[in-house]
């Protein structure tokens, strides 16, 4: 299960960051900024999940 979570996070991290870069960001006439802000913390959370599960798997492998 941990490998599956790590594999998903490894794939989702660049997808979120590429999606954020590829999505248009603009300022409306009334001064409101429109951008896909949710992809920034989702990509960061996926990167931290990748690092944490990867470290767990490395430590688990080193102990056995």
Q: Can you give the pLDDT at residue 8?
A: 95
| Token code pair at residue 43 | 């990509």
- pLDDT in the model for residue 17: 93
Cα angle: 32, vertex 37, 21; to 5 degrees? 105
Q: What is the pTM of this model?
A: 0.81
Report the domain count for the chain. 1
* Band of pLDDT at residue 32, cut at 50, 70 and 90: very high
Q: Is 34 helix (H, G, I), strand (E, B) or coil?
A: strand
Q: Which of 3, 39, 43 is nearest to 23 (CA)?
A: 39
pLDDT per residue over 44-55, tens digit each?
Answer: 999 999 999 999
Q: Which domain holds residue 39?
A: 2-63
Closest CA to 7 of 55, 61, 38, 53: 53
């Amino acid at each position: 299960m941990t490998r599956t979570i790590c594999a998903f996070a490894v794939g989702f991290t660049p997808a979120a960051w590429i999606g954020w870069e590829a999505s248009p960001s603009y300022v409306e006439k009334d001064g409101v900024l429109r951008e896909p802000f949710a992809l920034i913390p989702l990509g960061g959370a996926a990167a931290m999940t990748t690092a944490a599960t990867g470290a767990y798997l490395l430590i688990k492998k080193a102990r056995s």
